[in-house]
Each structure stands twice: as structure tokens, then as C-alpha cells.
Amino acid sequence: MSTEILVAAPPQVETDPRLMPRLVSGEEVRLSEIIAAMSVALDITQGQPAGHCVRNCMIGMRLAQELRLPAEERAALFYALLLKDLGCSSNAAKMAYLFGADEHAVKRDGKLIDWTKAAHKLKYAWQQCAPGGTSLDKLLRMAALFRSGPRGERQLVQVRCERGAEIARDLRFPPATSAAIRALDEHWNGRGHPAGLRGTEIPLLARILCLSQTVEVFFSNHGLAAALDVARDRSGTWFDPDLVAALLAIRGDEPFWGSLKRADLLTAVQTWEPGDRVEMADEACLDRVANAFARVVDAKSPWTYQHSTRVAEIAVGMAQQFDCGPELQCDIRRAGLLHDLGKLGVSSLILDKPGKPTEDEFAQIRKHPDYSQRIIEQVHAFRQLADVASAHHERLDGRGYHRRLDDQQMQWVSRVLAVADVCEALSAHRPYRQGLPWGKIREMMRRDLGTAFDPECFAALERWIDRGEFVPRIEAQLQEMDRLLSELQ
């Protein structure tokens, strides 16, 4: 994603928080618009260019059209195609550790090889393990990687597929949607993961997902002819031969293949949503989506596990001290849940590094609010929410990032979020330090009142914490780290 942005004139600071407008506009918004926009977060987690999941959806729905699937199945398929990578962050830390590399590159390049063939796997491992390291570094990484064998490969896929299916279920999509995501990486010949299903044991929608995602990757990287060649080569091994036949039947549909290169993909993909199954997102649905993507973000690293949900909790607690109405509190919670969405684009090697980041690494970290803004603002009704959520690292003195807003430009809600974010981060463990007690956090943050933090917002934080409602997430972090370590053994 580009880091160049056009900054509109910042809104005026509201002096009375109780009069703040809502962060989510009252207009009706299609659920498909929200999910398609948010799927870009899954793209960057997988190291894919923005639009990968959307193009994948269009390819899969075109296959469904060719197969004449009924509307109910097409509706379940539509969301499975957009959300196939919901669980992709859950194995990010593990992959970065195993390969000693940026997991985005590992995942991106892994989509372009046939990992079931030993020669391909060996060449891929040599290229991906310890990039920039010595030959010995690479060999040691490869030895550790191959020592886990098929069981290790299966675990990497299983945690991703199970987590993705679970989140899809919590979003209340049809069971067929969850089942398709769970079986995304099963292969026709039974050599896929995680369950080794064979042939028609694999749900039809999962078979479509498996084919469409491979076609999209090769189409985007090498063109249509290369994508069709891969589908032919893997017919009967990876892919259902009948689905490959359906794909070859539409190879001459030039308007369709051309549509995959459109600039307005988010508009284009909505034309593939079954017309009689269009769902509008109500307040409860918006909450489910915010919760779901917070889980995706927080699953990326054991060090940031539950960070988004706790920031949302603190921010709402602070807002209550200002007597904000329930609707604004609800929007503040959503902003807290989604504020770190852009961290999915930052390598786990940096986020989990057992030491302070270098200047170059910190430059990568500083990009994440920009990514958050670009993803969230694609939903028209979320433009204000995007401005607030992406300003959580701004400072009153204008020395924050990514827009360098100052006290005349920072909205009140952004000030709340900035205080909540720092407080929560300091209270938790980091690779290079232990979590701090509230007394130490209070002392540190008070030094920056009026320069980094709004004094009134910090006073609201103090009042809320003094009520005894804040519980650091250190115990949850330790449990998550134990889980990750057990998988690495």
C-alpha cells in the first residue's frame, strides 16, 4: 500500500464531548461493502496486493455462475471468497519465527509454488529461510523447519483455517461459509490440509475457493494464460477436474477478465452478490464486524494479544466520565477495536523483536496508522471513524504520526484513543520489557500532559482506573505465548 496520502482540512475540535457527532454515518450500508473493504486487511496480512480477496471473489462467483449454483449457495460462497483469509494472522508469528523472515514474503511466494512437490519445497525453503543470512544460517533454519515434517505443515494450516472458520461463524454467516473456509487448503487428491479430505469429501464451496485463489494469484502475477496453465496442471491433484473444466469454459469471457483490472474493484464485486440475498448492516452487525477484525489483528502477535479489545474497553470507560451518549460510546468502541488494523501489514519479525526497533524498523511501524485509515475509509459511512482510529499516535504538540496533527486539529475522540492506547500498551508485556504497574504508567504519562496527551482525557482515565475496572492482559498474554511455544516444540 502506498504511504502517500492527501490530507483533507482537519475538522474543528469539539469543545463539548457530549455534543460530538457520531463516527459512523446514519446512512444504510450494505454488509458486502464493509466486508469487501475490510478484506484488504487480509490481503496485506498475506503479503498480497490490495484487491486480492475481491478479485478472488469475482473469479469464484463467475465459476458459480457457470455452474448454475442456486442463490443460497452463491450467497454463502460470496462471503467465503471475501473472507477466506480470516485466520491468516493466527500463524504469522510462528511463520516469521520458523523461517527467520518477514512472513508476508513467505506467504506471498508460497502461493506461487506447488508445495506438495519435494523439489519445489526445497528450493522455496532455501530462498525464504534467513534471507540475507549465511549459508549456514539458511541450513539451520531449513533443518528446524523440515524437522517438524508433515505434522508441522498441517498445524500451520489448521490453526489458520480453524480460526478463520470460527470467526466467520461468529459473524453469523451460513454454516456453508465457515465450512468452506475451514477446508480452503484441502486438495482433490487428499494431500491437502488440515484434514486430508479427498474428492467430494471436500465441500464444493471449498473446492471453488481453492481453485479461485490460485487462479487469482497467477493471473495477477503472470496473466491469464499462466493461471489457466496452472489450473490444467493441477487438475485432479489440487483441483476438482469439473471446476477446472468450468474455468476453461469461461477463458474467452474477455469482459470478465478485464473487469479484474478495474480501479473500482469494491464497486465491481458488489455486482456479484446475489441480488435477492443483499444484507444491510445494522448496529449489531457493525459490532460483530469490528469485533471480528479486532480478533484478526490481535491474533498476529502474542505480545499484542487482546490489545485492540482492551484499548476499546479503556476508551469507552474514559468516554463515560464525560457523560457521552451510548451511541457515541458505541462508535468509540469500534474505533478502538479497529485502530491497529494496519499493523497486519507490519512484519512479525519487527513486532516480536526482542529489543527496541531500529530506525528503519520504526519507520515500518509508523506506517500502520496510514494503512488503518486507508482500509477503513473505503467504507463511505466509516470516513469519520477512519480519521479517529488512525490518529491514535498523534500528539498535541504535532510530533506524532502519521499526519502530524496538533492540538488545534486533533478531535476529542482521537485524544481519548491516544491516551487509551498508550496506557494499555505500557501495562502489557513487550519483547523488550515487562508490563508496568498503574502507578508507574501514571507517573510516565503525566510528564507528557499538554505535549503528547490531553490533560482532561488523562484525568478521565485516572477516574476510571481508580474505580478499579482496569485489569491488565498480562495473564492472557502469557497463556498465548505458552500456546505458541507448545506449537513450536
Active-site residues, by number, are 343
Decide: residue 396, CB within 10 A, 0-12 exposed, 13-18 middle, 19+ buried.
Answer: buried
| Number of neighbouring beta carbons within 10 Å of residue 443 | 11
| C-alpha grid cell, residue 28 | 444504510
> Hey, what's the cell of 193?
490440509
Q: How far is CA 152 from the centre of its chain?
A: 23
SS (H, E, C) 63-86: HHHHHCCCHHHHHHHHHHHHCCCC
* Alpha-helical runs (H) found in 403-449: 412-427, 438-446
Question: Per the structure block, which three cell numbers stand in for 6?
Answer: 492527501
Q: Which segments within 362-446 are labelled E, that is strand? A: none
Enumerate residues 6+ apart whose C-beta is below 8 A from 44. Answer: 1, 50, 104, 344, 345, 371
Which residues 6+ apart lie within 8 Å of 97 measured at CB? 348, 352, 488
Rounded to whole angstroms, how far apart are CA atoms 161 and 149? Answer: 19
Contact 32, 277 (CB under 8 A): no
Q: Cell 491488565 belongs to which residue?
A: 472
- 438 within 8 A of 423, measured Cβ to Cβ: no
